[in-house]
Amino acid sequence: MNQPGFKFELLHVDRHSGARRSRLTTPRGVIELPTFMPVGTLGTVKGLTTAQVSQTGAQILLGNTYHLALRPGADIVEQMGGLHPFMDWPNPILTDSGGFQLFSLAKLTKITETGATFRSHIDGSAMELSPERSVQIQQQLGSDIAMVLDHLIELPASLGDVEDANARTIRWAKRCRDCHTLDSQIQFGIIQGGLNPAMRRQCAEELGALDFPGYAIGGLSVGEAAVDMYATIASTTPHMPTEKPRYLMGVGKPEDLLEAIKRGVDMFDCVMPTRNGRNGMAFTDHGPLKLRNSVHRSDPNPIQQDFESDYAHLSRAYLRHLFIAGEMLGPILLTIHNLTYYQRLMKQARQAIENDSFLEFFAERFRGWGLPSSPTAPELS
């Protein structure tokens, strides 16, 4: 990494799998990897203050270029000193490029070689998002890690469509790299290629030649079967640089995180812990807990025993009461619990990798979740 203040260190690889223990240093703080990034799409992790988010153990947050460009606008955020002071978060921030909206807002989007033209989901007004514009917005936001604009397509897709999106992703990545000028921000390239191993390898190798400071695996967790997602990760990570961070975008369930760590991934983000928390579901070592269920009406037990947080002692009965009564405190407390659970899972994974016991930790967690797990990791080159 050429930018001052940024450094990536691969500290250890688990002896029995591809799991990596690494560290990403930024001017705004050190990120111990593997890590999970809470999603703050609009400059907020829904329902929580940034102090509460920090208390869950989060080291870095994610914001979204498309949404922040619409509201309040990149110019406003820049006038306020950037996204960090605007949302009162002094630690690192990663911003998505807006590429996911090419997929999620496909009916409102027209894609050409120049870029994408959106119809705002708020008022229908037109918005153009080219590689250059995406870079400009992210530089105005002042994030520490910026993502290049990529072309994500719906799966399943024909080989021709995958090849077309892949080639455009590579061309757009080069344009993003060439117009990036902010020394206090690094860029990650995004590897596409659908579920096709050859396309993934080609994209990884061509993006690798562009020498980005980090790389992401994009285009997964969009409806494909879990087995296909895991196979795609396993066929992609061997072609990613070992000396740079690896980020799996938009994933996912706790078991998905461990499956990906086993295959050599370092960074994750997903709305699942916050969204599920707002809807009454808590993640635990014994599987998801649906607190709206009547079985918890008079349950004096906490969500999980031996869990460290300021609210871990509260009973399931009380938490259920909050949801049934429509009190906003219920979603807040479960969001805190779920984010704390994810951060604890990442910390435990880091410790297991350091001890060359990741596969044992992996199997223990899967037994607790009641899920089948393979005893060995896939072949990694």
Q: Which long-range contacts (CB under 8 A, 24 or more apart) does 122-128 make?
A: 122/70, 122/71, 127/66, 127/69, 127/70
* 15 located within any domain: no
Burial degree of 336 (CB within 10 A; 0-12, 13-18, 19+): buried
96 annotated active-site: yes
* 197 located within any domain: yes
* 55 located within any domain: no
* 50 located within any domain: no
What CATH number does the domain containing 185 carry? Answer: 3.20.20.105
Please tell me the number of Cα atoms within 13 Å of 164 on its side-chain side.
10
* 10 located within any domain: no
Q: Is the dihedral of CA 76, 79, 81, 82 positive or negative?
A: positive
pLDDT at 49 (0 to 100) = 98
Structural domain total, the chain:
1
What is the pLDDT tens value at each position of the chain, 381 positions in all?
788 999 999 999 999 999 999 999 999 999 999 999 999 999 999 999 999 999 999 999 999 998 999 999 999 999 999 999 999 999 999 999 887 766 666 666 778 898 888 777 777 777 789 999 999 999 999 999 999 999 988 888 899 999 999 999 999 999 999 999 999 999 999 999 999 999 999 999 999 999 999 999 999 988 899 999 999 999 999 999 999 999 999 998 999 999 999 999 999 999 999 999 999 999 999 999 999 999 999 999 999 998 888 899 999 999 999 999 999 999 999 999 999 999 999 999 999 999 999 999 999 999 999 999 754 444 443
Catalytic residue among 144, 150, 266, 269: 269
DSSP collapsed to 3 states, 129-186: ECHHHHHHHHHHHCCCEEECCCCCCCCCCCHHHHHHHHHHHHHHHHHHHHHCCCCCCE
* 365 located within any domain: no
Q: 242: domain range? A: 61-276
Catalytic residue among 96, 150, 256, 266: 96
269 annotated active-site: yes
* 241 located within any domain: yes
Can you give the pTM of this predicted structure?
0.95
Phi then psi dihedrals of residue 43, to 5 deg: 85, 15
pLDDT at 258 (0 to 100) = 98
pLDDT at 361 (0 to 100) = 98
* 331 located within any domain: no
Whether omega before 90 lies within 30 degrees of 0, making that bond cis, reads: no
pLDDT at 379 (0 to 100) = 41
pLDDT at 36 (0 to 100) = 98
Hey, which residues does 10 pair with through a beta bridge? 22
How, if at all, do strands 93-96 and 109-111 pair? unpaired
What is the rounded CA–CA span in Å between residue 195 and residue 335?
32
Q: Is the dihedral of CA 20, 50, 94, 121 positive or negative?
A: positive
16: part of which helix (H) or strand (E)?
Answer: none
